[in-house]
A and B are shown apart, each in its own frame.
Chain A
């Protein structure tokens, strides 16, 4: 195929809509009969509502209705009807289901009014009386009750079976390190709060604009919960203001907005407040322990990584956290465990690279500790224990250019100039630290369908139900489609985020580029074939005896590879076909055979410079080089942005982000963006992204592996390792805040 666009930097096709404010997000669709819902949240963590008084709220002029568990319309009885596409095992939370309170911030009422400010005011007048029960939100207090989840979460690999005897090998190792690690609970906090606008179309039909990473996931949730036929529910969400996993599962505002719209037979919008963004999923709390044993020659002899993570009382949330420690390095004796303990909080949720930056913060910190103890360079330690196959499953890698990533990243960073001694590098008052870490994330492809439609005017439309949450999906699909038919990108329209479009799983896990991209390519190739047949069938066609393998689609022409002066224009071919449009829908599926024999991962090597004012505890991340091996890169421009975004997320994890629970109240207290700190512009300096050349024919037909997650993985560990190198202080609990830097953490 002639690739004009694939592999070349291209500006986002949705750019003009976004920079002019014309791109519509879920809470911005409207209707003449729109009413506004405002959620009332529970003040207690556990217990029951004994009384809920809505009289004063209902008396406010402009209030339409107040929904509570007492007047909630009938919805599905069985809890499994509420189970969405990516739900963990358990019984999903059901808003306004009954008087029971299972977490602080749980929605207890929805006030619907003619305008937003009336709804907000009336919500303040809803009086809720509770009977509180003792709650426990502190993971440390419940860790003794930790259990191995009896039902595994679909799509999440449990920790691999132990190999060798890690305990004996640890005992026999001349050099060992062992420590506990922890990362504060983090909330996703996409810039757009969760929102749903339900447009009442009459006759029990609704169009739903939901902040969701998969329109079809919301659609099937609505049809199951409210017993509606699929044809009466269309979910249209063309733009998502960031999600990072918070939009994988339908959130409670979707349920509330649909419930109110169906009951009131009018359009309803429910937008959560920023504070309420802390009343849904989060990156779980986890107590991690890593023990490594090595010989003096820096070969790993034993790896043990244990995790106790929190979950809710009603679902067993699981993510692959410890698994990375079992696959990243060559080692004969490995044990990893993952247990859960129930807390009176909402269920955790997938958050950008769920499990990987968490588990690898612990593992890659421990590797740094081991390197220091062995007196070897951290990169050398990793190279000496390089794994050529995934030893945790005994499968081959589809491709693995991590070695090149270490090498290129180190080169670009200037790693060879590093003085290995902690506290040895200084400029002015600041100690300088250089640290590094490895990253890995699964490269997956999921079964996805797409449609391509070429119309008589020479325009191509490609369509898929998946979402673009800022990842650049609109742009890369446009590039793929334009290349397939030799069109300029301006002649291609990509449609996404609509449940009526060809089937796609939720957008997430870094699988969308490989999956939707392959589906689009297949559908376009089908259109090519039809078009080619038509071109070949023309009277005196210059392509008369040609084979489709011997022609190129380029510059709106179909030409012979051997002689580009022999061509048929697309317009002529279309005209010859004599149809209004040529349409094809195709489904791309991963190869089962490949999956049986291979594992596929993206990898990264992250190099970080920090500057630490030791006396005052201030840490500045001044330079990051992230070398990423992720197969072929469709659009270097948007790809670089995606990695940088992941790195910034990693800076937040390392230095800033922390949802602070008050265990007396069972409630996160810093539930706003003033006190939950995400990095601001001043926190981010030079970030250099290197894409390592990696040839992969097995992960997906496109050779693409996906980029959404890998940027965050390894970043926090590299920063923590750099802080150690600067100060000689090993900080094993993130975020690394001023108090920890000036505090009494273990010195070198």
Chain B
């Protein structure tokens, strides 16, 4: 790790002042940042340890029936919170599909949203990478790209966002509250992560002088018909090749509203609201699901090693919607797929 100065602010306001320092980075659980610092990918000049900030470790009622999750709530605390398990079981299940107990015990809600890609080239400082060194090139295109994106890619970057949690939050339309020099602002999760475009070095729309303070979940509506289906190269402790968070708000035998978010396929959790709208008022069955999947995957492009993901994503959307419609969410311990 490179040499850096270290600060442990005692308040959010102080933390915001600290992160204004050039090349500063926020340290919370450390599970991704410390990892990348050892690889020489992240080289902060100043490390702002926010782990002691008061008030960011709580899960609170919002007043509108939702929950506000402090940025420092660990993945474990969030997944096993009884309110989350009861009202947002999709989120609980999704978190438990990710990483390991050890990592979830350390990783935080805010940090998880800021996780960086697992692209092999991004991680390997001996190779070019536009995200790590803008302008150096993208060897994943034409190289080893089994784990890469099929949607929303650019000529600069085909990396994916690796989070599971963020996929469920995208489906649940969480809102991220950030604090900066000008005070607090809310960013809907759909606008939080960016597509790579010509600036792949920027993962999110979080300002360099801002920190995440909480994530707000709107009033629950998807506690019955939901699932998180994750497909990966081994049965646990692996990032998603493709994952699908599906949630249906049912009105008797028809769908009132559908939410479908994909992980492992793009630089951000992938949602296509127009595709979800196709299910509105419809009896949930495979024919309808297939049309939805077609729509979600419109424009999907493979790069050789990852081309199978287009077909796999299509199949996964169908299965996830079937699980959600049947009210039989995927178990994250019983690896038999429902």
Contact = CB atoms under 8 A, between A and B. Distances in A.
A and B in contact, CB less than 8 Å? yes
Contact of A669 (B143, B312, B337): B143
Given A117-B1, A665-B143, A674 B118 contact: yes
Contact of B235 (A660, A662, A682): A682
A682 B236 contact: yes
B38 A120 contact: yes
Interface string B226-265: 0000010111111101000000000000000000000000
Contact of A616 (B1, B2, B239, B319): B319
B336 A662 contact: no
Contacts of A667: 124, 126-127
Given A121-B1, A665-B143, A669-B121, A620 B335 contact: yes
Contacts of B280: none
Interface in A570-612: 611
A738 B241 contact: yes
Given A615-B319, A670-B120, A674-B118, A656 B234 contact: yes
A675 interface: yes
Contacts of B237: 680, 682
A57 interface: no
Report the 7 A-B pairs with minimum CB-CB distance, sorted nearest first.
Answer: A739-B308, A43-B126, A682-B236, A669-B120, A682-B235, A669-B144, A662-B143
A526 B116 CA distance: 65
Interface of A: 41, 43, 117, 120-121, 124, 275, 428-430, 611, 613, 615-618, 620, 655-656, 660-662, 664-665, 667, 669-672, 674-675, 677, 679-683, 737-739, 742-743
Contacts of B126: 41, 43, 667
Interface in B84-143: 118, 120-121, 123-127, 139, 142-143
A429 B233 contact: no
A655 B234 CA distance: 8
B241 to A, nearest CB: 6
A118 to B, nearest CB: 10
Contacts of A743: 308
B337 A613 contact: yes
B231 A738 contact: yes
A738 B336 contact: no
B104 to A, nearest CB: 15
A620 B233 contact: no
A661 B239 CA distance: 20
Interface string B147-170: 100000000000000000000000
B170 to A, nearest CB: 21
B139 A664 contact: yes
A675 B118 contact: yes
- Counting chain A CB atoms within 10 Å of each CB, which of B1, B3, B235, B312 scores highest? B235
B185 interface: no
Contacts of A679: 234
Contacts of B127: 43, 665, 667, 669
A639 B235 CA distance: 27
B8 interface: no
Nearest to B143: A662
A672 B3 CA distance: 24
Interface in B301-338: 308, 311-312, 315-316, 318-319, 335-338
Contacts of B235: 618, 620, 680, 682-683
A615 B231 CA distance: 12
A737 B231 CA distance: 11
28 contacts: A121-B2, A121-B3, A124-B40, A429-B337, A615-B318, A616-B231, A616-B316, A618-B231, A620-B336, A660-B144, A661-B144, A662-B120, A662-B143, A665-B143, A669-B120, A669-B121, A669-B143, A670-B144, A672-B123, A674-B238, A675-B118, A677-B233, A677-B234, A680-B234, A680-B235, A738-B233, A739-B308, A742-B312
B234 A616 contact: no
A429 B318 CA distance: 14
A162 to B, nearest CB: 39
B83 interface: no
Nearest to A40: B126
Contacts of B233: 656, 677, 737-738
Given A681-B236, A683-B234, A428 B120 contact: no
B146 interface: yes
Contacts of B338: 429
A454 to B, nearest CB: 48
Given A121-B1, A620-B235, A682-B235, A430 B336 contact: yes
Given A117-B1, A611-B336, A681-B236, 8 more contacts: A43-B126, A429-B337, A620-B335, A660-B146, A665-B139, A665-B143, A672-B123, A737-B233
Contacts of A680: 234-237
A46 B1 CA distance: 28
B160 to A, nearest CB: 13
A486 to B, nearest CB: 48
B273 to A, nearest CB: 25
A343 to B, nearest CB: 16
A124 B2 contact: yes
Nearest to B35: A674
B308 A742 contact: yes
